[in-house]
Each structure stands twice: as C-alpha cells, then as structure tokens.
Copies of this chain bind each other. A is one copy, B any other.
Amino acid sequence: MAGPRGEYRKSAERRAQILDAAFDVFSRDGYTAGSVSEIARVVGISQTGVLHHFAGGKPALLQAVLEQRDARAKLLLEGRTGRDFLAGLVEISRTQESRRGLVQLYRRLATEAVDASHPAHDYIAVRFRRIVDAVTDAFAEVAAEGGLRPGLTPRAAALRAVAVTEGQEVLWLQGFEIDLAADIRSFLDSLLLEPL
C-alpha cells in the first residue's frame, strides 16, 4: 500500500521525468519555441499535470533545467582550488561535447537574456559573475604559488579563459573542428608557467 512516503516518491519521480523532458525540449527547440504542451506530451501527461509540479510554468521549468546543469558542474568543482580547479574546467568542457543541445540552449539564453526583460536575465547575469569570480579566485591561488605567467592579473586571465570557453562553443556549434576540452586545456596552459 502506498502511504505518504510512497506518494512523495512518486511525485519526486514525476518531477524528475518532467525535468528530463523539459531539458530535451528546450535543448531541441530553444526556450522561446519550446512549449509546456510539448513537454507534457513527451512525459505523457496533461499541461495541468506539468503545472502541478512547476507552478511557475515555462520560466520555472527553464530555471530548474539550468539549476540541474549548474549543480552537476558545482559538484565536479567542489573543494577544488588553483590548478586543480582549472583542471576541473577542462573536465566540464569534455562533458559538453556530448551535450550539444544543452550548449546551444545555453548560448541562446545567454544571448537573448542580455535584454533585461528576459525571464532568465538575472539568472544569466549572476551566473556569469559567479563563474568569472570563481575562475579569478583559482588564478589568484595559482599566482600566489608563483604559477601564473608574468604580466597577467588573475582577473584578466579569468576573463580571457571564460571568453575563450564561450567563443569556442560558438565556433563548435557552427561546425568547426574543435576539441573543446583539449583546446581549453592548451589555452589554460598558455597562461600558466607549468602545463596542467
């Protein structure tokens, strides 16, 4: 007999199914063209069923998809500092290679969300700041150990590393022959006195 705990588990499973479907639909169609009705269709439930789990509708679904993605990256970088943190960025780049749809979704969002009226505007702005700050900290730790190439501030190194990561994704999505992980590693190496 399914007691309250069974109900809770069932609800959590349904929520996870909806999140997976939202991930797939947004990755394929983008945020603007992706629809709650299509997400409901993929799960095999009604739109009302989707909205029962995500009362905020499409913006709430998008936020949950992005938070899931970020949680994975955060887990991978947890407790890592300096060169070890930078090596983690290379690992994240490697996982992107099998997630073309998500990379495209993220790029679309980062571009659309420059407009202050976009539902993901604050999320994207805060996210960029957090990333640049975390990478700056890592380069500062490397610099403290004397490992940063002379003439570079940790901030300048971080801005450039993030710019290269973003720009490589743009070219990769355009179909250029780019090995995201190898390329960002080689770029980071060019900022360091000893390769990663």
A114 close to B173 (CB less than 8 A): yes
Asked whether A111 and B114 contact (CB < 8 A) given A167-B162, A171-B163, the answer is: no
A121-134 to B contact mask, C-beta < 8 Å, 1/0 = 00011001000100
A145-196, CB < 8 A from B = 159-160, 162-168, 170-171, 173-176, 178, 183, 187, 190
Q: How far is the CA of A124 from the CA of B190 in the complex (A)?
A: 30
Residues of B within 8 A of A166 (CB): 166-167, 170-171
Residues of B within 8 A of A175 (CB): 125
Asked whether A163 and B174 contact (CB < 8 A) given A108-B111, A111-B111, A114-B104, the answer is: no
A36-58 to B contact mask, C-beta < 8 Å, 1/0 = 00000000000000000000000
B163 close to A167 (CB less than 8 A): yes
Q: List the B residue with the shortest CB-CB distance to A190.
A: B190
Residues of B within 8 A of A159 (CB): 168, 171, 176, 178, 183
A163 close to B164 (CB less than 8 A): yes
Residues of B within 8 A of A167 (CB): 162-168, 170
Q: Does A107 contact B (CB under 8 A)?
A: yes
A114 close to B163 (CB less than 8 A): no
A171 close to B114 (CB less than 8 A): no
Residues of B within 8 A of A104 (CB): 111, 114
Which 8 pairs show the lowest CB-CB distances between chains A and B? A167-B167, A163-B167, A166-B167, A111-B111, A166-B170, A163-B168, A114-B173, A128-B174
A: residues with CB less than 8 A from B are 30, 32, 104, 107-108, 110-112, 114-115, 124-125, 128, 132, 159-160, 162-168, 170-171, 173-176, 178, 183, 187, 190
